[in-house]
């Protein structure tokens, strides 16, 4: 693509219009390790906290939340009880949003809160609402695996003549090994990628770059009864992501056994962490934001989704991203920062290799291997990290992209305001 053509495309994307969908708040909780500091909190409590913080931020800006300014809330989740429909609505009301603010639960696997953001943006674009919140929440400590499909539960799936249909039930670790084998990604490269993720995340944490996107949360810490000691409950504040392991080295990762396949390449060290957390972003039409005196921090430009074979679901971003960029006449070189979900090092490296991305632009503050991957909240976490980094560096364009279980990729284009 000719340089002058892409320059015009970038200029067009950055052009401001009255009907733009802008983002005025982007917050998240710290991410807790599996059975870590957030273990005694339910997903709806994490959601209530980030929604309450968002409400307070909006009211501090002069938004009449109690008057119904926030017309709809869409929450991405994968594991919450009953799909998060009841507990999510409960959380929004507990957070102080009025009855008239609608609520919807969204499940698009790992891209659930990224999809919630798209849904709110489309509703604004279509004129259905003026302002809405896209959130995500997950307590994998409490809900992970409790609703897994037992073997043999569906004769329909077992007897399907479609291998792709049967592969929808493949464990995620199996798909990671399939990607590593198909695209020749050795364990050493995966371990190197994991070490870099922890190092970047530690550096970002030490420099306070993660703190700017996190709202600290006070949580219950329950100590079970033991011997003659009764169960105790105390309140503690958590303000930092718990999964970062700065001591991670190639030597320490080499000692880990592969967990998904005998003589495979995937380990607990080069895979994303099972985590707890929540995120939320407020989206509003630009002319409404201007009328209310709100200062946008970013703009939602567009999204794309593409299905891929379920057995190699991790390659999804490598196919969704080109579709997204082609729509706007952009190339990968036009993107300043990439937030790529690190579901597994194998699929992350496949995406980097296929799209020929400059690794210096990818996950500058670390990714899910270090920070954690609270499924339904991760899309919002990627956007929050992306927006704060675009603001900090003064860069213009960013893409957040994830793979999804059952085989798909989703990518979202963001412009800094």
Q: Mark whether 110 is an active-site residue.
A: yes
Which tokens is 181 given? 């084998």
Q: Which of 42, 74, 198, 403 is catalytic?
A: 403
Stated as kind and residue range, the H or E segment containing 80 is: none
**Alpha-carbon distances of 99 from 49, 51, 73, 316, rounded to whole Å:** 18, 14, 12, 38
Q: Which of 42, 49, 74, 110 is catalytic?
A: 110
Q: Mark whether 403 is an active-site residue.
A: yes
Q: Tell me which long-range contacts 216-223 makes (C-beta under 8 A, separation of at least 24).
A: 216/30, 217/29, 217/30, 217/38, 217/41, 217/46, 217/49, 219/37, 219/38, 219/40, 219/41, 220/40, 220/41, 221/37, 221/40, 222/40
**How are the residues of the chain apportioned to helix, strand and coil, as percentages rounded to the nearest 5?**
40, 25, 35
Closest CA to 404 of 138, 109, 76: 109
Rg, the chain, Cα only: 21
The values of phi and psi at residue 98, to 5°, are -75, 165
CA 258 to chain centroid: 26
Distance CA 21, CA 10 (A): 17
The length of the chain in residues reads: 417
Backbone conformation region of residue 394, classed left if phi is above 0, alpha if psi is from -120 to 50, else beta: left
**Look-up: residue for tokens 């609520």?**
103
Beta strands in 286-407 (DSSP E): 298-307, 337-340, 397-404
Q: Tell me which long-range contacts 157-160 makes (C-beta under 8 A, separation of at least 24).
A: none
Q: Mark whether 49 is an active-site residue.
A: no
Q: Which residues of 395-406 are buried (b: 16+ CB within 10 A; e: fewer)?
A: bbbbbbbbbbbb
| C-alpha triplet 313, 314, 319: angle, nearest 5° | 85
Residue numbers annotated as active site:
110, 373, 403
């Amino acid at each position: 693509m000719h340089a002058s053509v892409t320059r015009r495309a970038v200029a067009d994307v950055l052009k401001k219009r009255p009907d733009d969908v802008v983002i005025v708040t982007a917050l998240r909780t710290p991410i807790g390790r599996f059975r870590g500091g957030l273990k005694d909190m339910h997903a709806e409590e994490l959601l209530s906290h980030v929604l309450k913080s968002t409400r307070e931020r909006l009211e501090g800006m002069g938004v009449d939340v109690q008057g119904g300014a926030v017309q709809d809330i869409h929450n991405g989740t994968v594991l919450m009880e009953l799909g998060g429909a009841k507990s999510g609505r409960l959380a929004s009301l507990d957070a102080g949003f009025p009855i008239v603010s609608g609520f919807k639960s969204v499940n698009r696997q790992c891209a659930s809160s990224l999809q919630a953001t798209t849904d709110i943006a489309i509703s604004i674009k279509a004129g259905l609402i003026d302002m809405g919140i896209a959130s995500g929440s997950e307590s994998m400590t409490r809900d992970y695996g409790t609703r897994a499909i037992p073997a043999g539960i569906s004769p329909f799936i077992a007897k399907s003549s479609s291998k792709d249909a049967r592969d929808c039930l493949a464990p995620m670790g199996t798909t990671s090994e399939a990607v590593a084998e198909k695209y020749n990604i050795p364990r050493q490269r995966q371990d190197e990628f994991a070490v870099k993720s922890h190092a970047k995340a530690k550096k970002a944490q030490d420099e306070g770059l993660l703190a700017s996107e996190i709202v600290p949360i006070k949580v219950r810490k329950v100590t079970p009864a033991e011997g003659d000691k009764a169960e105790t409950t105390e309140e503690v504040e958590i303000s930092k992501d718990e999964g970062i392991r700065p001591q991670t080295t190639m030597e320490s990762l080499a000692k880990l056994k592969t967990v998904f396949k005998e003589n495979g390449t995937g380990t607990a060290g080069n895979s994303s962490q099972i985590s707890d957390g929540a995120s939320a972003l407020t989206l509003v039409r630009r002319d409404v934001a201007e009328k209310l005196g709100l200062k946008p921090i970013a703009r939602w430009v567009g999204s794309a989704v593409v299905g891929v074979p379920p057995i190699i679901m991790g390659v999804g971003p490598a196919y969704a991203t080109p579709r997204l960029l082609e729509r706007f006449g952009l190339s990968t070189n036009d993107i300043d920062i990439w937030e790529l979900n690190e579901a597994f090092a194998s699929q992350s490296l496949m995406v980097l290799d296929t799209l020929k991305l400059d690794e210096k632009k990818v996950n500058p503050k670390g990714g899910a291997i270090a920070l954690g991957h609270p499924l339904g909240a991760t899309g919002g976490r990627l956007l929050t990290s992306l927006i704060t980094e675009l603001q900090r560096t003064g860069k213009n364009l960013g893409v957040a992209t994830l793979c999804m279980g059952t085989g798909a990729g989703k990518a979202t284009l963001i412009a800094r305001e």
